[in-house]
Chain A
Amino acid sequence: MIPGGRPFRLGLSLWLIRVACALAPGARRKDLAAQWEAELLYRWRRLEASGARPDAASPPGTPRPPAQDLLFWSLGAFQHAWYLFKTEYTMDLIWQDVKYGFRSLNRTRGLIAIAVLSLAIGIAANTAIFSVVDVFMLRPLPYPDSDRLHMLWLTNQDRGWNQASFTVPDFVDLRKESRTMELAAFQGGTFALAGDFETERLSGLYVTPDFFRVLGVQPTLGRGFTDEEGTPGHERVAVISHGLWQRRFGGDPDLVGSQIVLDGAPHTLVGVMPPDFWFLFPGGDAWAPLSFDGTEARNSHNLQVLARTREGAGGGQALEEAQRLMGRIAQAYPETSAGHGAMMLTLHEEVFDEGFQAGTLIATVGVFLVLLIACANVANLLLTHATGRDREVALRGALGAGRSRIVRQFLTEATLVALLGGVLGLGLAFFGIRGLISIMPADFPRVHEIGLSGRVLLYTAAVTMLTGILFGMAPALHSSKGTLTDALKEGGRGGSASRGGRLRKGLVVAEMALALVLLVSSALLVQGFARIRMAELGFDRSDVLTFQTLLPEGLYPDSASVADFHDRLQARLAGLPGVGRVGGATALPLQGSSGTWYVLGGEDFQDPAARKVVGFKYVLPGYFESLDIPLLRGRAIEEADRSGSLPVAVINQTLAQLHWPDSDPIGQQIVIGSGPREIVGVAADTRDYGADSDQPALMFMAANQSVQRFMDWTVEADLPLHTLVEQVSAQVRAVDPNVPAYDVMSFDDLIERALGGDLIMAKIMSALAVIALVLALGGVYGVMAYTVSQRTREMGIRLSLGAQRGNVMAMVVRQGTVLALLGIGIGLGVALGVTRGLSRFLFGVSPFDPLTFASVAVVLLLAGVLATFFPARRATKVDPVVALRVE
């Protein structure tokens, strides 16, 4: 038809036209193609005849070469095809199909109800997880041009630092030299906000004055910080959150410009941030400027650095520059900075780190598997629904219905099921999302944004349509295949259902395999979860109630007044019935600790080479006892260790091993910035950072030998802990009504809150696994029940010929078992490949744990056999006479 040697653009145009015509209704396809091709070739010939080379570059003055024009022109064929499709498949026809579909589905209500429910569960799970993935992973962070925001970190391979904080001089140099980035620095901090009746502990940040500008968010009320406010000795100023402004100050618009007392010092409030503002994690309430006086040391790493790449500079360019600048610093100050380098993360990677990335990926795969199982289930049920209709289909065919019409009918019915499932699923998703939010730990960012947004609804709609097409395909293909005569004849047979049987069984095997993968994954995750909860952490927390207090500086100006508060509260708490030892620390195990430089007695604290880092916390007497942490040598921190007495410290075993592997550390000195401490005891190690981490070196100093206004209390009790909550709060009020007790909860709850981010995976996957199990077993049951009902006649014959009921039953069960075994076998193989990806959330449980694999396989097999048992029993109840009379 087309003469050979055609130019490329002509070929492309012809190809486009052909694709478009393939989409048009069959009856018009040939006509359409002929018309479009003829027009195209006519034009081409005319162009050639006119002497212009159609493929040549455009002559000056014309927008594009003629060949390209033709290419655009060919796109019109798609519109034409769509127009024909619309006119052919009118609303009337669709409505006919729908009405017919409803009637047909209604005939097997029970079956369809199960299908719709399966699908609804699958869609709900997907919708719920997508709503989270969307907010965490897909939406840009709520800052202008947020893709240009990065976090800059210090690295030093020699010292094994891959993500360390910067020092003030490093930061000042970087900021001065950088051409590709605007830089701001910040430091986490807590502020004690003094009020008329109580002091509130606020979390917040100390930031360089340009922080808000670099981030791109300014206070809605008042202003951010000026550069002068970042100079030492300037009047103190602060910015607070919208939430705090509402909560503490009743949203008073005249508040800006007035004074608030933070950490005992008056600050002028200069601004209130917008309502939903957050940075790195939710809950920041106060910001104050950082000031540098130029005397900061080049070895005190305490600044985190936010970077905004300038217009036109990519992240790679910026990183290169940062590395170059750090290299220069390393050369200029080798004694403090040798080996320094830099690394960069996007702010999004910083906020939603690998834990979030892996977690959302696993959950997405998990819900996708559940959806696949649901689809397999629905396809199966629709196949069953369709198989009973062979004769109907044949009859419609005989009466002149085209194959496409019949396929369309099946697709319409599948779409109806999908739509019902989608609507129901959306309803379920509403509750699913609430459930998901409720198990999210408080420190997850953006949680309040999770919900049924427009994008989520769009996603649900897409999933619904896709599944409808996916499982509608099976019965449609199946039904359009058979020949007319076969189908009309088959009615009399009622024998073993071979057509579609293999497909149906294949679907069940796939379901079992998928369910096994999910079950194994969740079993591993739950074990990891249990391991954390049950782990031997080196201290007994089961009988410990915790709470926090923060003393206002104005009322507790010195060591004596703070110690007095501690003493009185300890005495009151210890006097409560059922309460054992009472202690406290500035940070509890699993809550981390601060680090400090130290040297040993005899070494020079000013010598950078001698300085080492150790974690430390201040503790009250009774701390070790209340947590049952054994003292290996010497004594614990005691009542007598208070201001004026010899400064003492207890060290942990790791620190003792580090410096005195063969000798007694008792009586040795350890020197920190505030002076020397004498070691009086060695405590057993506790796994302060969780069961899967090594214990770092730690030292404990006496809280009452310094001024520690913040305290985490530990109250050991042999009562149900919740009964103590009220009494403890009352005792704190009784000591000082200005001091509230925060976060009164059991230590176990505290730990769960601290580890919530990791445990959430175990919870989500367990829920998914249960759903998968139920759906898969439903699938096995459905297929076996169907097979038995198809073989009623065969059973009848077997029984009347003398088969034992037991044999018939065994036969059916055997068939189900074979399917289950096949599925389990395949599932085990897949699971072995999949579980490796979970290891981050397993806390030391092997991703290939044989016991888990074996027990899940056995459980699934038993459940599968059970699912075939009931259909099998029905088979034996067949009355031969009735069975033979069927049809």
Chain B
Amino acid sequence: MARKKHLSLGTIHVLHALARGREYGFDIMEETGLGSGTIYPALDRLERLGFARSEWEDALIAREEKRPPRRYYRITPEGARELQEAMERNRSLAPVDLEPHLRPREA
């Protein structure tokens, strides 16, 4: 599925935000300053490429706040490797500790 193709700068920024622990569209928006029309498709693309995966939020937490559950995203080890490469190409990204993301997480 994952074709070797450079990600766009916007998508890399989204991936970078995921690596820094942002999990939701809105949080990523605040972190990156990108528009909603860029971030959500980028998240879809990352998931499609296997660089991120998404889950729905625990319904209990949502119910407590009287709102529907949100979808949250996590970076995958493949995504972390991709980001590492991207950060070597692109020095403008703030350094981030990728070590925890490079290990496969137990589902």
User: What is the interface of chain A, defined by CB distance below 8 A to chain B?
Assistant: 1, 3, 34-39, 41-45, 73-80, 83-84, 87
Contact = CB atoms under 8 A, between A and B. Distances in A.
6 contacts: A34-B71, A35-B71, A38-B70, A42-B67, A73-B36, A79-B36
**Residue of A37, A38, A77, A83 most packed against chain B (CB within 10 A):** A38
A80 B69 CA distance: 19
Nearest to B25: A39
B41 A83 contact: yes
Contact of B68 (A37, A73, A84): A37
A76 B65 contact: no
Contacts of B44: 80, 83-84, 87
Given A38-B70, A39-B24, A39-B70, A75 B65 contact: no
Question: How would you classify the secondary structure of chain B's contact residues: helix, strand, loop or mixed?
Answer: helix
7 tightest A-B contacts by CB? A76-B36, A79-B37, A76-B37, A83-B41, A38-B70, A41-B67, A38-B68
A449 B45 CA distance: 49
Contact of A38 (B37, B40, B41, B71): B71
Given A34-B71, A74-B36, A79-B37, 6 more contacts: A34-B68, A39-B25, A42-B65, A73-B29, A79-B38, A83-B41
Interface string B11-43: 000000000000011100100000111111100
A611 to B, nearest CB: 75
B103 interface: no
Contacts of B36: 73-77, 79-80
B66 interface: yes
Nearest to A79: B37
A45 B24 contact: no
A1 B66 CA distance: 9
B70 A42 contact: yes
A83 B29 CA distance: 18
Given A76-B35, A76-B37, A80-B37, A45 B65 contact: yes
Interface residues of B, number: 23
Contacts of A76: 35-40
Interface in B60-90: 62, 65-71
B31 to A, nearest CB: 15
B65 A80 contact: no
Contacts of B39: 76
Question: How would you classify the secondary structure of chain A's contact residues: helix, strand, loop or mixed?
Answer: helix
Contacts of A78: 37
Contact of A39 (B26, B35, B38, B66): B26
B40 A80 contact: yes
A41 B68 contact: yes
B30 to A, nearest CB: 10
B91 to A, nearest CB: 29
A77 B65 CA distance: 23
Nearest to B68: A38
Contacts of B62: 38
Contact of B41 (A3, A75, A79): A79
**Residue of A44, A45, A78, A79 most packed against chain B (CB within 10 A):** A79
Contacts of B45: 83
Contacts of B37: 75-80
A44 B71 CA distance: 16
Contacts of B40: 35-36, 76-77, 79-80, 83
B74 to A, nearest CB: 15
Nearest to B48: A87
B48 A38 contact: no
A788 to B, nearest CB: 54
A276 B24 CA distance: 61
B57 to A, nearest CB: 8
**Residue of A45, A73, A76, A77 most packed against chain B (CB within 10 A):** A76
A80 B71 contact: no
Nearest to B41: A83
A87 B45 CA distance: 9
A42 B29 CA distance: 14
Nearest to A20: B37
A66 to B, nearest CB: 12
A296 B67 CA distance: 85
Contacts of A39: 24-26, 70
A41 B62 CA distance: 10
**Residue of A36, A42, A44, A74 most packed against chain B (CB within 10 A):** A42
A37 B67 CA distance: 9
**Residue of B25, B37, B41, B69 most packed against chain A (CB within 10 A):** B37
Given A80-B44, A83-B44, A84-B44, A38 B67 contact: yes
B67 A45 contact: yes
